[in-house]
Amino acid sequence: MYLANVDFDALIREDVPYFDLTSFELGLDHQPARIAVFTREDCVVCGTEEAREIFRRLGIETLSMKWSGEEAHPGDELIVGQGEATAVLTAWKVVQNLIDHTSGIATKTGRFVKLVHGENPEISVLTTRKMYSGTKALSMKAIMAGGALPHRLGTSETILVFQQHINLLGGFDRMLAKLPEIKRSSCEKKILVETGDAEKALQCLRAGADGIQIEKLGPQELTEMCNAIRAEFPKAVLLAAGGINENNAAAYAATPIDGIVTTSLYTAKPVDIGVKIVPAE
Amino acid sequence: MYLANVDFDALIREDVPYFDLTSFELGLDHQPARIAVFTREDCVVCGTEEAREIFRRLGIETLSMKWSGEEAHPGDELIVGQGEATAVLTAWKVVQNLIDHTSGIATKTGRFVKLVHGENPEISVLTTRKMYSGTKALSMKAIMAGGALPHRLGTSETILVFQQHINLLGGFDRMLAKLPEIKRSSCEKKILVETGDAEKALQCLRAGADGIQIEKLGPQELTEMCNAIRAEFPKAVLLAAGGINENNAAAYAATPIDGIVTTSLYTAKPVDIGVKIVPAE
Amino acid sequence: MYLANVDFDALIREDVPYFDLTSFELGLDHQPARIAVFTREDCVVCGTEEAREIFRRLGIETLSMKWSGEEAHPGDELIVGQGEATAVLTAWKVVQNLIDHTSGIATKTGRFVKLVHGENPEISVLTTRKMYSGTKALSMKAIMAGGALPHRLGTSETILVFQQHINLLGGFDRMLAKLPEIKRSSCEKKILVETGDAEKALQCLRAGADGIQIEKLGPQELTEMCNAIRAEFPKAVLLAAGGINENNAAAYAATPIDGIVTTSLYTAKPVDIGVKIVPAE
Amino acid sequence: MYLANVDFDALIREDVPYFDLTSFELGLDHQPARIAVFTREDCVVCGTEEAREIFRRLGIETLSMKWSGEEAHPGDELIVGQGEATAVLTAWKVVQNLIDHTSGIATKTGRFVKLVHGENPEISVLTTRKMYSGTKALSMKAIMAGGALPHRLGTSETILVFQQHINLLGGFDRMLAKLPEIKRSSCEKKILVETGDAEKALQCLRAGADGIQIEKLGPQELTEMCNAIRAEFPKAVLLAAGGINENNAAAYAATPIDGIVTTSLYTAKPVDIGVKIVPAE
Amino acid sequence: MYLANVDFDALIREDVPYFDLTSFELGLDHQPARIAVFTREDCVVCGTEEAREIFRRLGIETLSMKWSGEEAHPGDELIVGQGEATAVLTAWKVVQNLIDHTSGIATKTGRFVKLVHGENPEISVLTTRKMYSGTKALSMKAIMAGGALPHRLGTSETILVFQQHINLLGGFDRMLAKLPEIKRSSCEKKILVETGDAEKALQCLRAGADGIQIEKLGPQELTEMCNAIRAEFPKAVLLAAGGINENNAAAYAATPIDGIVTTSLYTAKPVDIGVKIVPAE
Amino acid sequence: MYLANVDFDALIREDVPYFDLTSFELGLDHQPARIAVFTREDCVVCGTEEAREIFRRLGIETLSMKWSGEEAHPGDELIVGQGEATAVLTAWKVVQNLIDHTSGIATKTGRFVKLVHGENPEISVLTTRKMYSGTKALSMKAIMAGGALPHRLGTSETILVFQQHINLLGGFDRMLAKLPEIKRSSCEKKILVETGDAEKALQCLRAGADGIQIEKLGPQELTEMCNAIRAEFPKAVLLAAGGINENNAAAYAATPIDGIVTTSLYTAKPVDIGVKIVPAE
- Interval C46-105: pLDDT, tens: 999 999 999 999 999 999 999 999 999 999 999 999 999 999 999 999 999 999 999 999
Any B CB within 8 A of F192 CB: yes
What CATH class has A8-111+269-279? Answer: alpha beta
User: Minimal Cα–Cα distance from F6 to chain A, Å?
Assistant: 9
Query: C-alpha distances in angstroms, C166 versus A149, C212, C239, E200?
Result: 22, 15, 19, 65
How far, in Å, are A17, A86, F262 from residue F102 at the CA level? 19, 20, 17
- Nearest CB to D2: which of F9, F13, F86? F86
pLDDT digits (tens, 9 = 90+) for C237-272: 999 999 999 999 999 999 999 999 999 999 999 999
Tell me if residue A81 falls in helix, strand or coil: strand
Q: What is the C-alpha R_g of chain B?
A: 23
List of chain E residues whose C-beta atoms are within 8 Å of the C-beta of residue C60 = none
| Pairwise CA distance, residues B126 & B259, whole Å | 7
Contact D270 C277 (CB under 8 A): no
- Start-end of H helices in D120-135: none
Shortest CA distance from A235: residue in chain C: C187
Q: What is the DSSP letter of E128?
A: -
Q: Is C148 left (phi over 0), alpha (psi -120 to 50) or beta?
A: beta
The amino acid at residue D254 is A
Q: Rg of chain E's alpha carbons, rounded to an integer?
A: 23
Backbone angles phi, psi at B110, to 5 degrees: -55, -45
What is the full DSSP assignment across F180-239? HHHHHHTTTS-EEEE-S-HHHHHHHHHTT--EEEEES--HHHHHHHHHHHHHH-TT-EEE
Q: What is the mean pLDDT of residues C198-207?
A: 98
Average pLDDT over residues B29-48: 97
pLDDT value at position E79? 98
F19–D153 CB contact, under 8 Å: no
Q: Does E85 touch chain F (CB under 8 A)?
A: yes
B117 touches chain F (CB under 8 A): no
pTM of the model: 0.96
Hey, what CATH topology would domain D119-266 get?
TIM Barrel (3.20.20)
Residues 209-238 of E with CB under 8 A from F: none
pLDDT at D281 over 90: no
pLDDT of residue F281: 78
- How close B17 gets to chain A, by Cα (Å)? 6
Contacts of A143 by beta carbon, 8 Å cutoff, 6+ apart: A105, A106, A109, A127, A149, A150, A265, A266
The residue of chain F with its CA nearest to that of E10 is: F134
- Nearest-CA distance E180 → chain B (Å): 50
Residue from the list F158, F187, F190 with its beta carbon closest to the beta carbon of B258: F187
Contacts of C85 in chain D (CB under 8 A): 168
As a whole number of angstroms, the distance between CA F183 and CA C179 comes to: 64
From the number of C-beta atoms within 10 Å of its C-beta (0-12, 13-18, 19+), residue C251 rates as middle
Q: What is the mean pLDDT of chain E?
A: 97
Domain range list for chain D: 8-111+269-279, 119-266
Reading phi first (left if > 0) and then psi (alpha if -120 to 50, else beta), residue A102 is in: alpha
Instruction: Collect all residues of chain A within an 8 Å Cβ-Cβ radius of residue C188.
Output: 124, 126, 151, 158, 190, 192, 211, 237, 239, 259
Hey, what CATH topology would domain E8-107+269-279 get?
Aldehyde Oxidoreductase; domain 3 (3.90.1170)
| Residue E237 · residue E259 · CB < 8 Å | yes
Q: How far is E124 from chain D (nearest CA, A)?
A: 5
> Chain A residue closest to C160 (CA)?
A188
Subunit contact C5:B20, Cβ cutoff 8 A: no
Residues D263 and D243: their CA atoms lie apart, in Å, by 8
Q: Which residues have CB under 8 Å from A215's CB, separation 6+?
A: A194, A195, A196, A241, A242
Report the distance separating Cα D281 and Cα F21, nearest Å: 43
Identify each DSSP E strand in chain C by its residue range: 32-39, 43-44, 61-65, 71-72, 77-84, 124-127, 149-150, 159-161, 191-194, 211-215, 237-241, 259-262, 273-279
Say yes or no for a CB contact (<8 Å) between D97 and C270: no
Q: Which residues of B touch F189 (CB under 8 A)?
A: 189-190
Does C189 contact chain B (CB < 8 Å)?
no
β-pair type (A32-39, A273-279) = antiparallel
* Burial bucket for residue A62 (CB in 10 Å: 0-12, 13-18, 19+): middle
Beta carbon pairs, A and B, within 8 Å: 206
Question: Do B5 and E16 lie within an 8 Å CB cutoff?
Answer: yes
Query: Side chain identity at A249, as an amino acid letter?
Result: A
Q: Do A97 and B278 touch (CB under 8 A)?
A: no
Which residues of E fall within a CB distance of 8 Å from B145? none
Domain E112-266, classified CATH 3.20.20.70, yes or no = yes
Distances (CA, A) of C55 to C22, C51, C180, D228, E260: 21, 6, 52, 41, 38
Give chain A positions within 8 Å (CB) of B155.
15-16, 19-23, 89, 93
- Largest pairwise CA distance in chain E: 75
CB-based contact, F136 to chain A, within 8 Å: yes
Q: How far apart are CA E268 and CA E265, in angstroms?
A: 6
Q: Confirm or reject contact between B75 and chain A (CB < 8 A).
A: no
The stretches in chain F having pLDDT less than 50 are none
Write the ipTM: 0.96
Q: Number of Cβ pairs closer than 8 Å across D and F?
A: 26
H or E element that contains D116: helix D85-119
Nearest to F270 among E27, E97, E267 (CB): E267
**Chains adjacent to E (≥3 CB pairs closer than 8 angstroms):** B, C, D, F
Identify the pLDDT of residue E281. 77
Looking at residues B81-109, what average pLDDT do you find?
97
Distance CA C138, CA C154 (A): 15
Give the strands of the sheet with A77-84, arranged side by side: A61-65, A77-84, A32-39, A273-279
* β-strands A77-84, A32-39 pairing: antiparallel
Task: For C121, name the nearest residue in chain A, comparing CA atoms only.
Answer: A184
At the topology level of CATH, where does A120-266 sit?
Answer: TIM Barrel (3.20.20)
Query: Do the beta carbons of residue B240 and residue B259 sit within 8 Å?
Result: yes
- CB contacts < 8 A, A to D, total 27
Question: What is the DSSP code (8-state) at residue F266?
Answer: G
| CB of B15 closer than 8 Å to CB of B94 | yes
Instruction: Note down pLDDT in tens along chain A; length 281 residues.
Output: 999 999 999 999 999 999 999 999 999 999 999 999 999 999 999 999 999 999 999 999 999 999 999 999 999 999 999 999 999 999 999 999 999 999 999 999 999 999 999 999 999 999 999 999 999 999 999 999 999 999 999 999 999 999 999 999 999 999 999 999 999 999 999 999 999 999 999 999 999 999 999 999 999 999 999 999 999 999 999 999 999 999 999 999 999 999 999 999 999 999 999 999 999 97
| Cβ–Cβ gap B2/E24 under 8 Å | yes
pLDDT of residue D236: 97
Question: Which tens digit of pLDDT belongs to each residue from A109-140?
Answer: 999 999 999 999 999 999 999 999 999 999 99
D188 touches chain C (CB under 8 A): no
Q: Chain E residue with minimal CA distance to C9?
A: E5
pLDDT tens, D116-175? 999 999 999 999 999 999 999 999 999 999 999 999 999 999 999 999 999 999 999 999
Q: Residue C281: its pLDDT value, please?
A: 77
- Whole-number average pLDDT of chain D: 97
Q: Are B255 and B9 in contact (CB under 8 A)?
A: no
E126 and D188: CB-CB below 8 Å? yes
CA dihedral B168, B174, B178, B179 (to 10 degrees): 100
Q: Of all residues in chain C, what percent carry a pLDDT higher than 90?
A: 100
Q: Which residues of D touch F22 (CB under 8 A)?
A: none
For position A281, what pLDDT does the model report? Answer: 77
Say whether A124 and C239 touch across the interface (CB within 8 A): no
Contact check, Cβ <8 Å, A14/B136:
yes
Tell me the Cα Rg of chain A.
23
Q: pLDDT tens for residues C31-44?
A: 999 999 999 999 99
**B8-109+269-279 architecture in CATH?**
Alpha-Beta Complex (3.90)
Q: Which chain A positions have a beta carbon within 8 Å of C149's beta carbon?
A: 185-186
CB contact under 8 A, F2 and A13: no
Mean pLDDT of E89-117: 98
F18 touching E (Cβ < 8 Å): yes
Which chain E residues are closer than 8 Å to F127 by Cβ?
Answer: none
B103 has a pLDDT exceeding 80: yes
Q: Is the separation of the CB atoms in E25 and F178 below 8 Å?
A: yes
Contact F12 D5 (CB under 8 A): yes
How far is A211 from A202, CA to CA, in rounded Å?
10
